[in-house]
């Protein structure tokens, strides 16, 4: 069965509700929790995630709060990987080495930093190696063939395939161009190895995930979950049920199980 990476904003809208959401997504078959540290000026996030970040930042959210939330998730769900998603300013401010150390201590297993590309990462690659963190670079359909091959030849274990150019959360059409992009990412690198490919950006239905499953190792979904949280945050039982069902739908799990 293909993997599911589910994206949440740390402590949105509260620590209690965010933890309930994570628990529900794990119950729905989530294999990796992608936890975003709130950031004021995101470059890849759509309206739902931007609004979530703004909300918790106005309440005084800090990077430490995010690490504390991640540590709780790691302790509560030890069999679920945690990928931390953030932007470079939050890493550069304390120092990338120190940030990676704290991420490791909190229970993070991988980092996704969209604005620190693999070929200009300010030392992220080395810091991840030092603290045994997996660096997951983001690949876009607009990449040149040479740059894509350079990314593959770097030897990353996992690559985040953004299924289209733009921001997350808006409609994504899976077409021949999308499939061609995923196939090119799946080719061997100079050492004959292939990376795991996770496809994301606008995944919100079973039909979309099924369309890319033959070409990826897993799918990434986020805004669809944040919208459910937004709508049902005053009813934790209903919110949790809907999140679990949506996760099962996207992963392709029979909801009766």
Helix axes 96-106, 63-76, angle to 10 degrees: 30
Q: Is 45 assigned a catalytic role?
A: yes
Which of 67, 72, 64, 101 is closest to 84 using CA atoms? 67
Q: Is 135 in a helix, a strand, or coil?
A: strand
Dist. CA 99–CA 17, nearest whole Å: 26
Active-site option among 16, 31, 34, 210: 34
Q: Is 34 assigned a catalytic role?
A: yes
Dist. CA 19–CA 122, nearest whole Å: 32
CA distances from 171 to 104, 207, 227 (A): 34, 13, 14
Dihedral sign for Cα atoms in the order 199, 201, 206, 211:
negative
Q: Which residues lie below 8 Å from residue 107, measured CB to CB, with a gap of 6+?
A: 70, 71, 73, 74, 75, 82
Active-site option among 16, 41, 45, 176: 45
Dist. CA 221–CA 80, nearest whole Å: 16
Q: What is the DSSP letter of 38?
A: P
Catalytic residue numbers? 34, 45
């Amino acid at each position: 069965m293909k993997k599911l990476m589910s994206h949440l904003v740390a402590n949105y809208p509260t620590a209690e509700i965010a933890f309930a959401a994570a628990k529900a997504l794990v119950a729905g078959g989530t294999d990796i929790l992608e936890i975003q540290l709130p950031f004021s000026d995101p470059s890849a996030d759509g309206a739902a995630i931007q609004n979530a970040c703004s909300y918790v930042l106005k309440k005084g959210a800090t990077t430490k709060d995010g690490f504390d939330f991640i540590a709780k998730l790691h302790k509560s769900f030890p069999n679920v990987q945690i990928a931390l998603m953030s932007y470079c300013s939050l890493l550069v401010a304390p120092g990338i080495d120190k940030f990676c150390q704290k991420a490791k201590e909190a229970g993070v297993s991988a980092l996704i930093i969209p604005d620190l590309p693999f070929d200009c990462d300010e030392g992220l690659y080395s810091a991840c190696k030092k603290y045994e963190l997996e660096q997951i670079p983001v690949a876009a359909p607009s990449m040149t063939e040479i740059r894509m091959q350079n990314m593959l030849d770097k030897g990353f274990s996992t690559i985040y395939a953004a299924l289209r150019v733009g921001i997350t959360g808006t409609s994504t059409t899976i077409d021949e161009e999308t499939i061609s992009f995923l196939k090119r990412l799946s080719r061997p690198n100079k050492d004959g190895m292939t990376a795991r490919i996770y496809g994301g950006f606008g995944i919100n239905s079973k039909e979309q995930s099924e369309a890319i499953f033959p070409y990826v190792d897993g799918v990434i979904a986020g805004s669809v979950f944040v919208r459910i949280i937004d709508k049902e945050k005053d009813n934790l039982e209903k919110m949790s049920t809907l999140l679990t069902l949506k996760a099962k739908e996207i992963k392709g799990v029979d909801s009766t199980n």
